[in-house]
Each structure stands twice: as C-alpha cells, then as structure tokens.
C-alpha cells in the first residue's frame, strides 16, 4: 500500500478475478480461447470483405469496420486480463490505467455510433429500397464511419481529464478486471459527485440516444417486414434483423446497467460480470451473429480460401 499522505499513486493493483484459485488455469484457457476466436473471426471477416469487390457495399463495409473496431476494442483489455491471471504482480501504472480507460471508452462509444449507422443502413434497405442506392452511397458510408470514430474518440476526453485531477491517496487496489471510471472513482479520496454526474450525462447521451435510434429503426424494419407477402421473404428479413438485434440488446443491456447510473459502483462481482459480457462476450458473438450466419459472406470466405489453395496447389484446375 502507498503512503496515505501522497496525493498521487504511481500505480494501481487490478484485483481482476479474486477467489478463483483452483480454476485460475481454466479461466485463463477459456479467456485465451475466446480472445483468439474473436481475433481470428473478426480478422477473417475484415480481410474477406476488403478482398472481395462484390462485398464492397455499404452493409458489408459497415460490418468490416465493426470487425476492425472489435480487434482494437478487445486488445485494450483482454491481454492485460490474461497477463494478470498468470502473474502475481497485477500492477498497472497511473498513466497506463488512464490510457486503458480512455481507449476502452473511445472504442465503446465508436461501437455505439457504428451500430446506430448500421441500423440506419438496414432501415433504408428494407423500408426505402427504391431510394436506398441514391441515399446510401459509398461516400455517405465513408463519412458516417469517419464520424462514428471521430465522435467516439472525442467523447471520453473530459471524463479522463477530470479523473486525472483526482487525488488517490489511500487504497490502490481496483476491484475490477480492467481500469474503468466507476472503480477508479470509488478509490479517490475526494468528493467525486461532479465526476459521477459528468460520467452519467456523457454516457446517458451516448448510450441512450444511440439505443433509441437503433430501436426505432428496428421497430420500423419489423413493421415493414410484417407487410412482406411471402413467408420465405419474411423469414429471411427477420432472421437477419433478429440476429443483429440480439447483439445490440446484449451489448446495450450490459453497458446501460454499468454506465447509466448515478452511483459510483454496485457490487464488484456484479460489475465484473457485466464487464465480461460487454468486453469479452459481445466481441466474440459479433463475428458469429453479424457475419457467419450470412450466406453471401460464407460463400466469399470459401472463395477466398479456395482461391489461395488454387494458387498453392498445381493439381487444381
């Protein structure tokens, strides 16, 4: 522990998953498998979409950008979680802790905006199919994606600045699996009500507004799908929407609980559980749900792999 008189701790200790002694090895293996699958799945989708010109449509462009984002989103937290499961010294520097928090929130906010852009793209495609090619041009798609990233990376700046000004002079143990605003605020030895209100306002704005837009888009999509005459047509449209909606509900449900609240923290166990959902489970589910259930994308993956085999194997025609 640090000296109580010092106003600035040089490092924090991430408690991670406490009391998992006997199953620590299994937890490490499970987390490593999840991380490797997330990286391989998202990287495969990103490369296949970029390499197949037939997939250079707004919908697939958004899917490839989401996959690219998930690679960085998971890289900000999971490698450190894995390292902490193996090492006795679970420390992270003060600057490192703030950087991890900043990038995790920037990428999380970018994902909220990107999922909103994707739901708008699906709304146009299903509800306004005749106007879709004229409205959703590749230029608009690029501008929307750039806007998602830019606003995402601007969002947490004020929160990080406010936290960096706080004095941390007592306990340096963070009861969480990675650095984040709620557990950091609970360690500050000063009134943090301003931080809590600012965090609430920013998170409520980002999360609730994007969630509202996504839900209203899907509401209109479902209404349009119900008007489709053929059962096969309805089924096809619903299967696409339902899978997207599942990811959205899991992701937003867990982050609304974690960040849209006027309390520093709930029970650390509950916070850790929800953190695993939005930092590990959702990025793992995205490649499966957004892409691997998509027949066109699976065909493109097969084509890409077979093309490589054709080049390497002389026996192929």
Among residues 55, 78, 60, which one has the least CA distance to residue 284? 78
The helix or strand, by DSSP H or E, that contains position 14, with its residue range, turns out to be strand 11-14
User: Residue 57 gets which letter from DSSP?
Assistant: S
Kindly state the percentage of the chain with pLDDT values over 90. 47
Tens of pLDDT, residues 304-314 = 877 766 555 55
> How does pLDDT run across 65-111, given as a tens digit for each residue?
999 999 999 999 999 999 998 888 889 999 999 999 999 999 999 99
More confident residue, 307 or 292: 307
How far is residue 287 from each of residues 126, 236, 306, 314, measured CA to CA in Å? 22, 19, 21, 33
pLDDT value of residue 265: 60
Residue 5 has pLDDT above 70, yes or no: no
Q: What percent of the chain has pLDDT over 70?
A: 91
Q: What is the pLDDT of residue 102?
A: 97
Lowest mean pLDDT among 13-17, 142-146, 218-222, 293-297: 293-297
The pair phi, psi for residue 265, each rounded to 5°, is -160, 155
pLDDT averaged over the chain?
A: 86
Domain 11-312 has CATH 1.10.20.10: no
How far apart are the C-alpha atoms of 161 and 216, rounded to whole Å? 34
Q: Where does residue 16 fall: left (phi above 0), alpha (psi -120 to 50 degrees), or beta otherwise?
A: left
pLDDT for 193-230, tens place per residue? Answer: 999 999 999 999 999 999 999 999 999 988 888 887 78
pLDDT at residue 310, rounded to an integer: 59
pLDDT band for 2, please (50, 70, 90 cuts). very low
Helix or strand (DSSP H, E) at 91: strand 91-93
Is residue 286 scored above 60 in pLDDT? yes
Higher pLDDT, 266 or 226: 226
Q: Which of 79, 70, 81 is nearest to 40 (CA)?
A: 70
Per-residue confidence (pLDDT) for residue 104, from 0 to 100: 96
**pLDDT at site 6:** 43
CB 122 within 8 A of CB 241: yes
What's the mean pLDDT in 248-263?
85
Indicate the pLDDT class of residue 3, thresholds 50, 70 and 90.
Answer: very low
Of the listed ranges 54-63, 151-160, 294-303, the least confidently predicted one is: 294-303
Is 80 exceeded by the pLDDT of residue 303?
yes
Task: Please tell me the predicted confidence (pLDDT) of residue 140.
Answer: 94
Instruction: Return the top range by mean pLDDT from 9-18, 146-155, 256-265, 293-302.
Output: 146-155
- Arithmetic mean of pLDDT, 292-300: 76
Domain boundaries, the chain: 11-312
pLDDT at 277 over 70: yes
């Amino acid at each position: 522990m640090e000296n109580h008189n010092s106003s600035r701790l040089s490092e924090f200790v991430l408690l991670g998953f406490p009391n998992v002694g006997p199953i620590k090895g299994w937890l490490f293996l499970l987390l490593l498998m999840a991380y490797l699958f997330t990286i391989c799945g998202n990287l495969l989708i990103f490369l296949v979409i970029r390499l197949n010109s037939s997939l250079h449509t707004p919908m697939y462009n958004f899917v490839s950008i989401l996959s690219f984002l998930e690679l960085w989103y998971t890289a900000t937290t999971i490698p450190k979680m894995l390292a902490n499961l193996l090492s006795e010294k679970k420390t992270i520097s003060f600057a490192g802790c703030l950087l991890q928090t900043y990038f995790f929130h920037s990428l999380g906010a970018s994902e909220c905006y990107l999922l909103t852009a994707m739901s708008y793209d699906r709304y146009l495609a299903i509800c306004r199919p005749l106007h879709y090619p004229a409205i959703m041009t590749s230029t608009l798609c690029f501008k929307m994606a750039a806007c998602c990233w830019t606003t995402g990376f601007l969002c947490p700046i004020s929160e990080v600045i406010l936290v960096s000004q706080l004095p941390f002079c007592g306990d340096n143990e963070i009861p969480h699996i990675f650095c984040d605003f709620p557990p950091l605020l609970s360690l500050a030895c000063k009134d943090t009500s301003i931080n809590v209100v600012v965090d609430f306002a920013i998170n409520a704005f980002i999360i609730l507004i994007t969630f509202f837009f996504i839900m209203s888009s899907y509401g209109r999509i479902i209404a349009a799908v119900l008007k489709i005459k053929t059962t096969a047509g309805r089924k096809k449209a619903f299967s696409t929407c339902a899978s997207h909606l599942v990811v959205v509900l899991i992701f937003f449900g867990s982050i609304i609980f974690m960040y849209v609240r006027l309390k520093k923290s709930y029970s650390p166990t509950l916070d850790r559980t929800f953190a695993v959902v939005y930092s590990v489970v959702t990025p793992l589910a995205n490649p499966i749900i957004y892409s691997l259930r998509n027949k066109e994308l699976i065909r493109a993956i097969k084509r890409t792999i077979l093309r490589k085999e054709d080049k390497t194997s002389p026996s192929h025609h």
